[in-house]
Amino acid sequence: MRAAVSLACLAAALAATACDRPTSTSTSTSTPTAPAYPVVVALVIDQEAAWIAAERWPLLPADGGLARLLREGTYVRDLRYAHSATDTAPGHSALYTGAPPRTSGIWGNEVLDPVAHTKVSILRDDETKLVWTGAPPAWVGSSTKVLQVDTVADRFRAAHPDAFIVSISIKDRGAIFAGGRKPTASLWWDKELDQFVTSTAFAPSFPAWADAQAVPGAVRAKPWTLLDADWVKAHAATPDDQLGEGELGGMPITFPHDVAHAPSPTSAFRGSPFADDAVLGLGLAALDAEHAGERPTLLALSLSGNDYVGHAYGPDSWEAWDELRRLDASLGRFFAALDTRYGSSGWSAVLSGDHGVTTMPEVANGIPAARPWCRPDAGPDPWGRACGNAGRLMPDELGAELRAVAAKAVPGEHAALVMGVIDPYVYFTPEGRALAGAPAAALRKALTAAILAHPEVARVIDTRALPASCPPESDESIDALVCRAFVPGRSGDLYVLTRPGSFFDPDVVPGKGTSHGTPYLFDRAVPLVARAPGKVPAGRVVREPMSFRAFARTLSSLLGVEPPDPEAANASDLTRLH
């Protein structure tokens, strides 16, 4: 039980609540000497847009984690993905492989189960089982089976069979690409179990150092309140009870959010700063685990709380501002904890985002102050943010509509032709795909017309018409971005491109909140920061756009390995900037 208490305390300490000093291998008060092997922390803030970082990070206090990273590292303002469909799994896989979805095989977060036609994780693997601390539930687990390329962690494992590689996230897609195929541990939180779990793909049993239940319980013991109410009120352009915000977990949309006592505490938890504190706390516990401090180390954390907060309440909400403020403070304490273990020059960090986000429709359409880039004197917006009306496309409703359209367009006795809609594709059934000649053309024509009748839609792209090989990355046209997002034989049949500011409803709180997933820069550009004393220039800002491959390139250099993707080998390396 002692390990469980210590772990909960680590997480609670990050949340700045009272707690006994955690058990740690680093109890010495003397300054630790830097280890002779690499200790690299890779952080992905889920849904951290380049525009958010550029406009809001400068407003954060000097003693926070992000200000420290900017002082001590190099900041790339405009790291660009080369794919449309800017979602979590494509983003994380691109960061950790240096390859776009077309090459990696990771084209979306979820796929349709071919039998049940329900949404399942793209990483779900029927040959694996979930692993957790309780009795085995025999639930299906996740793996890297669908991933077609190597990850940075795979290269690191090959170079250092004894390396300590731990990845942790609230989502399987946030952890698995970072940990690669042979992690020491790859852990994610399961909403039904309310525990951290892994899969038989990675470990036969749950690691002894990680108490799966203690951390979520400890960090959400107190309600979520504003850390700095004056700061939030000074910067948020909307009221706390803004129209369009979602009642996450059944909670009211205003502060305080009593997460532990919400009608659905697990939904409320994952959309709160507590989720990120749980991941950071488990990360520190991993570093203190047996033998972790004596070998080449990669600790990769994906902070998903930020994403669920953004989805439910929108990026302009009090919740989003407080999430950033709290995450920044937690990162500051996390980096201080790394100093304690390795000395400030003994660890490196890279930090990025997996995609951006767009303004919530009710705010976009109703609060002019929230869109200063739309003022007549504002000039062109560097992030391509929208000024027109915005809206949500409801995937299940669209799917039902399209099934009816298909039945009408191709009369006669046949099975359903449309399987369903998952952002950003319409998927046909095998019968729909098998159609040829005039019926096939009639089907696509009728579906395209029906989709285009929705005001949120800009274009419908027939994926059969995409070229066999995609244009070079310098081509940032919509067609090129869609081409690099598409995986032949696996992605869907019609690609639905929404207008800037509109999006597929993310189903976090149905019909509420906001999302991402489009090829526009507000969704496609993210920040990159690398901090490595003596290796990466301190206090440097790169304003020019840079390829997403710089993340894998730089992380590989810090770990002393070659990047997995050949094109990433040619990408910018923040350890070699001139």
Rounded least distance, CB 354 to Zn ion, Å? 4
Which of 157, 242, 181, 30 lies closest to 556 in space, CA to CA?
A: 157
Of 354 and 573, which CB lies nearer to Zn ion in the complex structure? 354
- Applying the rule CB under 5 A, the residues between 71 and 130 that interact with Zn ion are 88
Q: Stretches 38-46, 189-197, 213-221, 361-369: which one binds Zn ion (CB under 5 A)?
A: 38-46
Q: At what angle do helices 172-179 and 88-97 cross, to 10 degrees?
A: 10
| Least Å from the CB of residue 191 to Zn ion | 16
Nearest CA among 542, 572, 41, 105 for reference residue 287: 41
307 forms part of the interface with Zn ion (CB under 5 A)? yes
Q: Decide: 393 and 454 in contact? Cβ < 8 Å.
A: yes
354/401 with CB nearer Zn ion = 354
399-406, Cβ contacts within 8 angstroms, sequence gap of 24 or more: 399/426, 401/450, 402/426, 402/447, 402/450, 402/451, 405/446, 405/447, 405/450, 406/432, 406/443, 406/446, 406/447
Nearest residue (CB) to Zn ion, 39 versus 89: 89
Find the part of the chain contacting Zn ion (CB under 5 A) among 44-52, 68-76, 183-191, 260-268.
Answer: 44-52
The greatest distance separating any two alpha carbons of the chain, rounded to the nearest whole angstrom, comes to 80
Give me the least distance between CB of 557 and Zn ion, in Å please.
25
The reply on whether position 48 binds Zn ion by CB under 5 A is: no
**Least distance CB 79 / Zn ion (angstroms):** 15
Pick the closer one to Zn ion by CB: 196 or 308: 308
Tell me the residue nearest to Zn ion as measured from the CB.
88
Min separation Cβ 173 and Zn ion, Å:
8
Element (H, E) at 60: none
Residue with tokens 């989720």: 275
Q: Residues 139, 129: contact at Cβ < 8 Å?
A: yes
Min separation Cβ 483 and Zn ion, Å: 22
Please enumerate in sequence order all residues whose Cβ is within 8 A of that of 559, keeping only pairs 6 or more positions apart, or say none.
38, 40, 152, 155, 156, 159, 296, 298
Burial (0-12, 13-18, 19+ Cβ within 10 Å), 497: buried
- With CB under 5 A as the contact rule, which of the stretches 39-47, 254-262, 319-327, 429-437 interacts with Zn ion? 39-47
Q: Which is nearer to Zn ion, 341 or 355 (CB)?
A: 355
Q: Which is nearer to Zn ion, 12 or 331 (CB)?
A: 331
Which span sits near Zn ion by CB under 5 A: 18-26, 351-359, 379-387, 522-530? 351-359
Applying CB under 5 A, which part among 55-63, 213-221, 346-354, 551-559 lies near Zn ion? 346-354
Q: How far is the CB of 271 from Zn ion (least distance, A)?
A: 13
Cα–Cα distance for residue pair 34/284, rounded to 1 Å: 17
- Min dist CB 562 to Zn ion, Å, is 27
Residue with Cβ nearer Zn ion (307 or 401): 307
Question: Cα separation of 367 and 361, whole Å?
Answer: 10
Closest approach of Zn ion to the CB of residue 312, in Å: 14
* Residue among 32, 78, 1, 83 at smallest CA distance from 424: 83
Q: Return the range that interacts with Zn ion (CB under 5 A); candidates 41-49, 246-254, 380-388, 480-488.
A: 41-49
Angle between helices 152-159 and 549-559 in degrees, nearest 10: 20
- DSSP three-state, residue 128: strand
Stretch that binds Zn ion, among 223-231, 306-314, 360-368, 393-401 (CB under 5 A): 306-314
Among 354, 423, 456, 479, binds Zn ion (CB under 5 A): 354
Q: Which is nearer to Zn ion, 88 or 93 (CB)?
A: 88
Candidate ranges 287-295, 299-307, 316-324, 502-510; the one touching Zn ion (CB under 5 A): 299-307
Nearer to Zn ion, 354 or 567 (CB): 354
For residues 427 and 443, give the distance between their C-alpha atoms in angstroms, rounded to a whole number.
13
Q: Least distance from C-beta 459 to Zn ion, angstroms?
A: 24
Q: Which residue number, 51 or 156, has a Cβ lying nearer to Zn ion?
A: 51
Q: Residues in contact with Zn ion, total (CB under 5 A)? A: 4
46 counts as binding Zn ion under rule CB under 5 A: yes
The smaller minimum CB distance to Zn ion, of residues 48 and 362, is found at 48
Alpha helical stretches, state H, 514-548: 521-524
Q: How far is the CB of 512 from Zn ion (least distance, A)?
A: 18
d(CA 19, CA 41): 25
**Would you say 46 or 362 has its CB closer to Zn ion?**
46
Q: Indicate the residue among 150 and 307 with the shorter CB distance to Zn ion.
A: 307
Closest C-alpha among 511, 498, 502 to residue 364? 502
C-alpha distances in angstroms, 409 versus 53, 337, 404, 426, 463?
A: 47, 63, 9, 16, 20
344-365 exposure pattern, b = at least 16 Cβ within 10 A, e = fewer: bebbbbbbbbbbbbbbbbbbbb
Q: Residue 142 and residue 92: Cα distance in Å, rounded?
A: 15
Contacts with Zn ion in 206-245 (CB under 5 A)? none
Minimal distance, residue 119 CB to Zn ion, in Å: 16
**Segment near Zn ion (CB under 5 A); pick from 42-50, 185-193, 430-438, 453-461:** 42-50
Cis peptide before 256 (omega within 30 of 0): yes
Which residues of this chain interact with Zn ion, rule CB under 5 A? 46, 88, 307, 354
